[in-house]
Structures are given as structure tokens and as C-alpha cells.
Amino acid sequence: MQTQDKLFENGRPEEMTSILEIRDLCVDFFLPNGVLRAVNYLNFDLPGGKITGLVGESGSGKTTLTSAVLRTVSNPGKITQGHIMYEGKDILAFSDKDLKNYRWQKAAMVFQAAQNCLNPSMTIKEQFIETYLAHKKDLSVSEITVLSEKLLKGVRLDAERVLRSYPHEMSGGMKQRVMIAFAQILEPAILFLDEPTTALDVITQDYIFDILQTIHEKTHMTMLLSTHDIAVVAKTCDYMAVMYGGCIVEMGNIFDIFESPSHPYTKLLIKAAPSLVGELKERTAIPGTAPDLMKKREGCIFGNRCPLCGEECRQTEPKTVTVSQGHTVACHKINKELVNDKPKS
């Protein structure tokens, strides 16, 4: 593990104010052999003006959650229950017009594979113009071009060259930076980043995260970064939410999470993270396999892999409790510790 000064480069986060509130959200995928519940009665508050890391193994539900917040869950998936509140309004009740105004103008997303998001038959300039005019008509083509140049320079690209380029003329890292610029064109309040550096080399990954931090410092845009890379979260984020089996099992600022992780899954994730310092033998894989989300759930979703699992864990799903200000966890063991720590009357 790195030293505290190196691990937490953003400084201790301030008190959290939510910009997005999710309550009892369920997302089901209706498959020929049954129903797969990818998000299960999830509750989550997204801190406004901060960078939050959403971490968890592949299949934990990170991408499905961010897709649900934008109402872009693909078939055969469907949001079957819950509320997603933004500015006092439930996104799930939005009309098509409201939804069009919400996407890109209020919330934008940078997907994993940039090459799949860009039109191969159009130049980047044409795509910037088309994207802007699809939502707003208040700028001329020349004004949109100037704005596009500014955004591309903000992600450290040669704006003049990139605007006249087609997607195939750029590297993967360049295309990902173009997508980050695209996501800002309508000045959204929230930016979702779904594994934004997948398939990129380590140097390019670090470069892109540095760009994101710079953008955040200038704009104070709220960001939700979905990743399985604990080291990136420690370096980049203010808050961290740990997702497992479609549920948020722990949430808090990075200081609380890394100094005093409360959920067994969080502890094991941190312990499994690769490090350039320390002995390799200190890094251990999480035992067992991820849960089958098509089976009926009983007890704690992490129970079959948890070293602390007891009878109560196998029979009853734990409730989410507050460990400290802004730090919550769903674990029977923590529940009991908190009760035992309370002074007796």
C-alpha cells in the first residue's frame, strides 16, 4: 500500500451534498431460462461536485446501474422498480422530451469502447455539430466549431487536426479523449464514466485520468467513475461506492474506506489490489466465485465468499447502517458491533 500522502492526492473530502438520489432500484433481464436481477433494491446518493468511484468485480452491476440512471438499459433488460431523483424529479417518469433534455444536457456518459460510439463515416467536426444541434439551436456552426476546439484542447488534443479527422485516423487513446470532449459539449452537471480506459495501455490510462482530474478542478462537474481498479479510485476520487451482486455494500469518502474498510468484500478488494510496493505474497485473490444472479437470494449476497459468514448472514439480508458521517455499510457483523458499542442506559 502506498503512503497516505501519495494514496489520497485530492485531500480529505468535504461533507457530502447529493445531486442524484436512487431509491430501491431494481433492474431485471428477462432471459429465456429465467430472470437475472442485475440491480437489486439499490439505494445510492451521488455526491454533487465530487468524483465518486464505483468499484466492484466484473458482473457486479456497475454498467447496468449507470445505464439505468440514463434510462439506456438495453433489451432484454428493464427497470422494474425504484426511483431515480434529479432536481426533485423522478427520471423514470420523464417523458421523451424530458429525457432528451436530461441526456447530454444534464447527464452525459463516456463508454468503454470509444470506437463504437463514433460514426466512422463522419469527421469529428461534423459529429460535434450534429450532437450539439440535436439538443440545442442557440449557436451557429462556426460557434459550435470554436467550442469544439476549446473542448479538444482541454483534453490535450491538436484540435485543428482532430476536427478534420475520421475516427479510424486516431488511436484508441485519442478517440477516448474525443469522447470526453463530446460529453462536455452541452455542459452537463453529471458525467458518467464506464471503465473509460479499458484496453488502453497503462501510460495512456494515467494520462486520461490526469485529464479528468484537471477538468473536474476547472468545472467542478460531478463524476461517477465505474472501475475495478482500486488504485485509480484512491488517486482520483473523493468518494467510493463498493458494488457487489447488484447492491451497494459500502459507501464513504476514500479516507474512511481505505483507512477503515468495514465490509469484508471491501477489505478483500483492497487486499487483492496490485501494488508497486510491498511483497507480492501480501496480495491475495478473493476466494470463491461471483453469485448466480438468476437464483433466488437468501441472506447476504456475499455470504458464500465471506470469511466471517455466520448463520444470520446465510438467512437474513443485512440492512445498510451508518458507521460514521457519510460512511455506510451493509453487513451483519458491523450491525452487531455498532449495537454493542452503544452505551447502556
* Global pTM value: 0.87
Residue 38 near residue 61 (C-beta atoms within 8 A):
yes
For 50-88, how does the pLDDT look when each residue is reduced to its tens digit (9 = 90+)?
999 999 998 899 999 999 999 999 999 999 999 999 988
Grid coordinates standing for 167?
A: 475516427
Which of 105, 120, 34, 59 lies closest to 247, judged by CA? 59
Residue 127 near residue 138 (C-beta atoms within 8 A):
no
Cβ-based neighbour number of residue 42 at 10 Å: 21
Kind and range of the H or E element at 162? helix 159-163
For 221-268, how does the pLDDT look when each residue is reduced to its tens digit (9 = 90+)?
999 999 888 888 988 999 999 999 999 999 999 999 999 999 999 999
Residue 306 near residue 313 (C-beta atoms within 8 A):
yes
User: How high is the pLDDT of residue 13?
Assistant: 53
Q: Which domains does the chain have, with CATH numbers?
A: 4-106+188-290+300-341 (3.40.50.300)
26, burial (CB in 10 Å: exposed 0-12, middle 13-18, buried 19+): middle
Residue 99 near residue 107 (C-beta atoms within 8 A):
no
Task: Say which residue the cell 445510492 belongs to.
Answer: 44
Q: Which residues lie closer than 8 Å to 85 by C-beta, 6 or more apart?
A: 20, 21, 22, 23, 91
Q: How confident is the model at residue 345 (pLDDT cuts 50, 70, 90)?
A: very low
User: How high is the pLDDT of residue 2?
Assistant: 37
Mean pLDDT of 305-314: 92
For 190-231, how does the pLDDT look when each residue is reduced to its tens digit (9 = 90+)?
999 998 887 778 888 888 899 999 999 999 999 999 988 888
Mean pLDDT score across all residues of the chain: 87
Which of 49, 43, 13, 22 lies closest to 191, judged by CA? 49
Query: Percent of the chain having pLDDT more than 70?
Result: 89
Kind and range of the H or E element at 222? strand 222-227
Q: How confident is the model at residue 5 (pLDDT cuts 50, 70, 90)?
A: very low
The CA-CA-CA angle for residues 236, 148, 232, to 5°, reads 10
The SS3 of residue 157 is coil
Residue 106 near residue 114 (C-beta atoms within 8 A):
no
24, burial (CB in 10 Å: exposed 0-12, middle 13-18, buried 19+): exposed
Q: What is the CA radius of gyration of the chain?
A: 21
Look at residue 319 and tell me whether its pLDDT is greater than 60: yes
